[in-house]
Structure 1
Amino acid sequence: MKTKDNPEQASFHEYTNSAGGWGSVKALASILTQERVLGAGTRVLMKQNKPQGFACVSCSWAKPADPHMFEFCENGAKATAWEITDKRATPDFFAAHTVTEMEGWNDLELESSGRVTEPMKYDIESDRYLPVSWREAFDDIGARMKIMDPEKVVFYASGRASLETSYMYQLMARMYGTNNLPDSSNMCHESTSVALPKTIGVPVGTVTLDDFEHTDCILFFGHNTGTNAPRMLHPLEAVRKRGVPVITFNPLRERGLVSFVNPQSPLEMLTPARTAISSQYVQIKVGGDTAAVMGMAKHLMAMDDEALSSGMRRVVDVAFIEEHTEGFSEFAQAARDADWDEIERHAGVSRTELKQAAETYSRSNAAMLMYGMGITQHREAVRTIHMLTNLLLMRGNIGKPGAGICPIRGHSNVQGQRTVGITEKPALAPNDKLRELYHFEPPMKKGLNTVEACEAIQQGGISAFFMLGGNFVRAIPDHGTIEPAWRAIPLTVQVVTRFNRSCVIHGKTSYLLPCLGRIEVDRQSSGEQAVAVEDSTGCMHGSRGMSKPASDQLLSEPAIVAELAKRILPFNSRVDWDAWVADYSRVRDAIEATWPDIFRDFNDRMWKPGGFQRPLAARERSWKTPNGRANFISPRGYEPDPDMPAYAPGVLRLMTVRGDSQFNTTVYSLDDRFRGVWGTRRVLLMNCEDIRTLGLNSGDFVTAVTVSTDGIKRSVSHLRIEPFDIPPGCITGYFPELNPLIPLAHHALESKVPAAKSVPIRLVAEAMEQA
């Protein structure tokens, strides 16, 4: 495996095969061999996403009650191999490398060191991490945090911690005295959590796997399913084989939404057979979603007005609108008044394409709308989600079989963490129940979200930053301003499985606390333990580890949280942290006591095949909004960025993406076969005409510079230009390598999600720059 990123020697050639197929089989064999777990990995994968097995540690797509023989996708298998790897980052590894040396390594090189096996503490004199006992680590961390102002301490949670760990973590933070509980949702789907409660009264999607069997139309917006949730391709394949149209809106023609070969079908694997996933692919400009949806709504209203005048069947669902919604008249008039020329300019596609999509949608009786971070990571993300909901409400497509909205969450339990209290917003925390159950006064001051925590770090206002998993320093924007400030934090603590960028960019005192992975056997004093997670469709699942732990020095995440809690909190007879660690079912009892409506009979139901569903009022057409109705919300224009008019001369809209061999900040390989990129991540993929207009050539090297007004120069140098099928004025490159280009203030209005999908940049040819 090549780990050195050398863009000069990289190759670029179009990948014409479908998603899945022999390409996925080859990638699976490659990752198992690379991590030296070919035999063990094959056995473990047979239990992935199965009843009585373990929930995938990567994406959060739904787990079926009747699973396939191989109920894992290519990227899920890579995540599993990454966790059960035979590679180890032992004290000998840390003794051989200074932290300064490792700062020069890329993300793949850092994580390729393997699983961290013992707790480590940074030693400034040797510039190395040195082994430390668990007791010494906890005693020192606890002593430091116990005298800190709780409002200056941050408890970050990545999306993979279980429901049990997350519950304990939020309780510890609140008993400590803070709501500083930013999480990975702040960086991805917080826009969903802000937008949907205003329109349909719930913060999550309404679609379940059963709806795929009843739908007769699917709309996709801003999601690369073939890389980020490949198991969804199975229900999509079934939908397409019965003739259901799938209309995709995306700036890039992603392979997984073009065609799919099912690796579990001998017929498809041994013949040229493939399933065309999208029946219509609308290749909109970056940030053009609001305009595109308004174009569809405008045509639907024109069709409805014509039907009304001719006495034909209405196109909009009048009965549903009158009984269940508010604001339709205003929205309908806004759609009628919308200007087609303006819509086409902002969407980047013709009215003919949008009318075709609207007419297909109008013929459906039950339609689902799916979207990903191509929607949520924009300045106007909340506005766009309101528009998506408007489109569904027009035809009554919320709260009936085969219909609904489906935000496709990323990390494996990021939605579940919110369900059990990981939130910086006290209004969303179960404070009354916590007060009743544990006899303490929960803090009522709003805590810091991800962007606000970074702002506080920039200002020197954070005393300690505790990371429950993840790779926070790498995932956030504005590296050039955040990383120097991060080094001044008095204490940083990271719960880790593998070494990553956040380990080498550290505070003055820094600890690495290695934990058991979800796939590993977790044995406590009462026996082997299991945990639970929530998937993207609001279903809860049990997960049981089955692989031998990477080291006998590892502690479970609940044990780490409990040991810290015992050192930073006063004694509370209502919380027996040791008993909770001994038997996780007691934590689930506590979760049930806190949310009895959601988690009724939690321990009895956690192994139900397919999971048990959380109740969602919108599925029953009950609207938990202030006015008790589902709400149409008319948009404020179509610009993707209110502070930066779209597509100014010389300005390109950068869309950061993940590669085929990547999950979040974890990079498994330097190749991205679906986009035809081999051997590098230091690349910008551009429209051919833009390359010519800017006087560049394929293979040139440029520096990307952010267009901003704050006086701070943000740039990433030595990026190779290559032509790609992307709309004019748009450009794409890889996350997190291009995160230094994203100003911290460049975030979604209302939700504060970093707007990584629409960053205004200019390119400077490196020869010109040197001159």
Structure 2
Amino acid sequence: MSSDPRDESIQYEGAAGGWGSLKGMSQVFARELSTPAVLETLMRQNKAGGYMCSSCAWGKPKEPHLFEFCENGAKATIWDLTRDRCTPAFFGDHTVTELRSWSDYDLEMQGRLTEPMCYDSASDTYVACSWDEAFEGIARELNALDPKSVVFYASGKASLETSYLYALFARMYGNNNLPDSSNMCHETTSVGLKKVTGSPVGTCLMEDFEHCDAIFYFGQNPGTNSPRFLHPLQEAVKRGCKIIVFNPVREQGLVRFVNPQNPLQMLSGHATELAHMYLQVKPGGDIAALMGLCKHVLALDDAARAAGKPSVLDRDFIDQHTHGFEDFLVAARAADWGEIVRVSGLARSDLEAAADVYAAAENVISVYGMGLTQHVHGSQSIGMLVNLMLMRGNLGRQGAGVSPVRGHSNVQGQRTVGISEKPELVPLDKLAAMFDFTPPRDKGLTTVDACEGIRDGSVQGFVSLGGNFVRAIPDRDVMEPAWRKQALTVYIATKLNRSHLVHGRSSYLLPCLVRAEEDVQASGPQSVSIEDSFSHIYGSFGKRKPADEHLLSELAIVAGIAKATLPTHPKWRWDEWTADYSLVRELIEKTYPDEFHDFNARMFQPGGFYRGNPAHERIWKTDSGKAEFTNPTVMSALGIGDAPGRYHLITMRSNDQFNTTIYGHSDRLRGLEGSREILLINPDEMARAGLQEGDVVSLVGDAGDGVKREVHDLTVTPFNLPDGCLGGYYPEMNPLIPLWYHDEASKTPASKGVPVRIVRAAG
């Protein structure tokens, strides 16, 4: 029996996928009372001419599997197409104040919203209203406010067509206040990757995974967040590719996988072992770990050249395509191995072994998620990752590149068609000519900026295109009281969530179709489009009967608000655009002709159509015109370092969850079931803190700013984590994250290294 106390941790020893995945899908199907027609939708999911999943942004292959959906994608579809309905009668029975005490799960379990509603302060309820009443009421409030005081937020699910019109409406109204869910998740990629490669998105195509020899994987969990990614990972391993994982949490989705589409694997239970090495780096330790890899690659190169052998580095690529290598070379040689080991929490021998794999591989892809980026110095982590890739020319060629894994299904696409608070990223001159107006040129508000504005009263209106913003943001206990001081809140949604219960003085709840439902407008049935993580565009066509006759599409709602709010203008054709979405695609094509030429003709092309990426072609749109080596100013990406009694908390999503949507209370891939009010900690740390499994404790913030931040009644649960690291569920742990604790370059909240202390429950 092992003497390692971590062996006493709760953990799941089975594989990702397999029968557990099928059981998870079937449980949600049974609970949601979904119709047999849902099965037909699943069979069309992520296939050309079919319905594009509303869950993650993983690519859709040109030659799909028979079942081209994963556990979480199926759950999202089933969840959308539930038979349960949340009607105005429900709100007549429950005040908004009462509903605030309900859990996230119980709120969404009420089912689909069916009719537009407005908040009635006298009864403290939402009451039904007509669509015309909603549009006119919202327009009246918007026109009474300073346009600069209103925020237009978008979650990552809305289609390209809706997103384009939403951004256009905001600018016609008078601002660039267009934060989206990227601000909370992947904005560090948009800022950090653009600085060093010239591209704000990943450089890989889906087919690159068929040609790579090694994958270096940082801070992302495909088993929970993008399970269809497990298929190409499995195929890569089978042909000899080595996967090196850096993650504080030992995620089972990167350890072993049973493919539900492989009958032999399902019957035998024989899993594919995925990770060649799994290195549990400390939170914020990726910069140090990457520096260790780079330092050893340089040592290998020195030894090779001294022996008269070919250089380990791609010197031709470095000379022709990069800038800043000599300065980085000095910094890497000067880096201290003792500090690298201390900050990363990894043994030098393990880092050298990983670097040996990198140096021996002809083609390397680096994959990363929010575990790499959601830190105060997350942008520098991206810079270090790109440094490693540049050393051997692993950018801009087949089988190599940088591949961030996105969350929401169209979060990347929304940015592509204009949802951005940064005016320099949008072709404003072209919009001005096309629509005969003067777009605002000042920088808009990010998510953090919007929250600060709500807190200080400078933001007075908030329009939310999907999402659960109030539940997802940091400093929630500080933000919710401030939120209710706004003049107007508007929520476009499919189901009830916590944000809808934290409302302004005037508030509207507007129910919309889901992507899988039939969207019929004046010109007939409509299709929409989305963009995946690989910059490919896909058409999506819904066929299910809408949940209620009163529902409107997201596009129709956006156009309805815009038409009611803005003056009449011959070039602002909201009714025509609503009647025929192909006209909106023509506008997108005219605005972005290089990426979207022949948009309508190509949108249902198998495998999607590629809108292009200059960095993939080794065209570097950086200040120097080359890919940039950068020197980190810190070894730890954490903004607040270690101290006696201080831990760093990482927030995590469960296997039964997508963002703030909680499908159930099973975190099967971590061996956790039931309550979400738990604190994960390794047994060594438990012993040092005098804690026992099952103890009930509180976490308090330790940011040193004098603000009281607490989460109570957490059950101590042993779990395999690095020393000094705690784990807890998102969004339950969000009250512990200071609003100001974010990546320095992008303002993305630093949710993967939150400074906290453990406090025992009284008595």
**TM tier, smaller:** over 0.9
Structure 1 residue 38: Cα displacement? 5.3
User: Partners of 2:267 and 2:201 in 1: how far apart?
Assistant: 40
The reply to whether residue 498 of structure 1 matches residue 495 of structure 2 is yes
The amino acid that maps onto 1:34 is R
Q: Which runs of 4+ in 1 moved over 4 A?
A: none
Q: Is 1:395 matched up with 2:392? A: yes
Query: CA offsets, 1:212-235, max 9 Å, x none?
Result: 111111110000110000000011
Where do residues 59-208 of structure 1 align in structure 2 (5 Å cutoff)? 59-208=56-205
* Post-superposition CA distance 1:268-317 (Å, at most 9, x none): 00003111111111111111110000000000001111112221111110
Partner of residue 578 from structure 2, selected from 569, 578, 581:
581
Choose from 361, 365, 370 the match for 1:364: 361
1:335 Cα deviation after fit? 1.1
**1:410 is aligned to 2:407:** yes
Contact residue 537 and residue 609 of structure 2 kept, 8 A: yes
Alpha-carbon separation, structure 2, partners of 1:538 and 1:615: 7
User: In 2, Cα distance between the equivalents of 1:634 and 1:304?
Assistant: 20
Q: Which amino acid aligns with 2:394?
A: N
Match of 2:526 in 1: 529
What is the CA-CA distance between 1:39 and the residue it aligns to? Answer: 2.1
Q: Write the distance in 2 (CA, Å) between the matches of 1:83 and 1:425.
A: 33
Q: Distance in 2 between matches of 1:376 and 1:547?
A: 38
Q: Secondary structure at 1:156's aligned position in 2?
A: strand
Q: Which of residues 665, 672, 675 is equivalent to 2:670?
A: 675
Residues 696-732 of structure 1, C-alpha deviation per residue, up to 9 Å, x if partnerless? 1111011100002221100000011110000000010
Counterpart position of 2:6 = none
What is the CA deviation profile of residues 653-689 of structure 1, one whole-angstrom value per residue up to 9, with x for unaligned ones?
0000100000000000012111111111000110111
Q: 1:690 and 1:212 mapped to 2: Cα distance?
A: 39
Between the aligned partners of 1:272 and 1:75, the Cα distance in structure 2 is 21
| TM-score of the aligned structures, taking structure 2 as reference length | 0.98
SS of the residue 2:727 aligns to: strand
Cα shift at 1:507:
1.2
Once residues 676 and 684 of structure 1 are traced to their aligned partners in structure 2, the CA distance between those partners, rounded to angstroms, is 14
Aligned to 1:9: none
Q: Structure 2 CA distance, aligned partners of 1:355 and 1:755?
A: 29
Report % sequence identity.
Answer: 54
1:342-368: per-residue Cα shift (whole Å, max 9, x none)? 000000010100000000010111110
1:245 aligned residue (221, 242, 252): 242
Deviation at 1:44, TM superposition (A): 1.4
Counterpart CA distance in 1 for 2:168 and 2:350 is: 51
Assess if the C-alpha contact under 8 Å between 2:475 and 2:736 holds in 1. Answer: yes
Contact (CA 8 Å) 2:513, 2:554: kept in 1 or not?
A: yes
Structure 2, gaps ≥5 residues long: 1-8
2:648 is equivalent to residue 650 of structure 1: no
Choose the corresponding residue for 2:738, options 739, 743, 756. Answer: 743
Distance (Å, rounded) in 1 between the aligned partners of 2:680 and 2:35: 34
Q: How far apart are the structure 1 equivalents of 2:203 and 2:427?
A: 22
**Deviation of residue 453 (structure 1)?**
0.1
Do 1:591 and 1:599's aligned partners in 2 also have CA atoms closer than 8 Å?
yes
- Distance in 2, Cα, partners of 1:69 & 1:704: 46
For residues 14 and 399 of structure 1, the distance between their equivalents in structure 2, rounded to whole angstroms, comes to: 39
Residues 32 and 41, structure 1, Cα contact 8 Å, conserved in 2 = no
Separation in 2, partners of 1:484, 1:136: 28
In the alignment, the residues of structure 2 paired with residue 227 and residue 250 of structure 1 have an alpha-carbon distance, to the nearest angstrom, of 14
Deviation at residue 619 of structure 1 after TM alignment = 0.8
What letter is aligned with 2:677? Answer: R
Structure 1 residue identity aligned to 2:70 = C
State the alpha-carbon separation in 2 of the partners of residues 564 and 120 from structure 1. Answer: 14
Structure 2 CA distance, aligned partners of 1:288 and 1:316? 25
Unmatched segments (≥5 aa) in structure 1:
1-11
Match in the other structure for 2:700: 705
Match of 2:512 among 502, 511, 515: 515
Q: Verify: 1:621 aligned to 2:618, yes or no.
A: yes
C-alpha distance in 2 between matches for 1:525 and 1:578: 9
Find the residue that maps to 2:680 and give its secondary structure.
strand
2:644 partner SS: coil
8 A Cα contact 1:29 1:38, kept in partner: no
Q: Is the 8 A contact 2:380 2:637 kept in 1?
A: no
Deviations 1:529-561 (A, max 9, x none): 000000001000000111110000000111111
Q: Which runs of structure 2 are paired with 1:196-345 in the superposition (5 Å)?
A: 196-345=193-342
Secondary structure (helix, strand or coil) at the match of 1:240 reads helix
For residue 434 of structure 2, what is the aligned residue in structure 1? 437
Contact kept? 2:702, 2:756, Cα under 8 Å: yes
Partner of 2:5: none
Asked whether the equivalents of residues 463 and 489 of structure 2 are also in contact (C-alpha less than 8 Å), the reply is: yes
- Equivalent position SS for 1:305: helix
What one-letter code is carried by the residue in structure 2 that aligns with 1:382?
S
Secondary structure, counterpart of 2:110 in structure 1: coil
Q: CA deviation at 1:128?
A: 1.2
How many residues are treated as equivalent by the alignment? 755
Q: How does 1:524-603 map to 2 (within 5 A)?
A: 524-603=521-600
Q: Which amino acid aligns with 2:49?
A: Q
The question of 1:380 aligning with 2:377 is answered yes
Helix, strand or coil at the partner of 1:480: helix
SS of residue in 2 equivalent to 1:301? helix
Asked if the contact 2:680/2:727 (under 8 Å) is kept, the reply is yes
Q: Distance in 2 between matches of 1:160 and 1:409?
A: 12
Instruction: Report how far residue 575 of structure 1 moved.
Output: 2.0
Once residues 334 and 748 of structure 1 are traced to their aligned partners in structure 2, the CA distance between those partners, rounded to angstroms, is 23
**CA apart distance, 1:13:** 5.2
The equivalent position to 1:661 in structure 2, one of 630, 639, 656, is: 656
- 2:45 is matched with 48
Which deviates more from structure 2 when the two are superposed, residues 346-355 or residues 306-315? 306-315
Please give the secondary structure, in 1, of the residue aligned with 2:232.
helix
The amino acid of 1:26's aligned partner reads K
Aligned counterpart, 1:717: 712
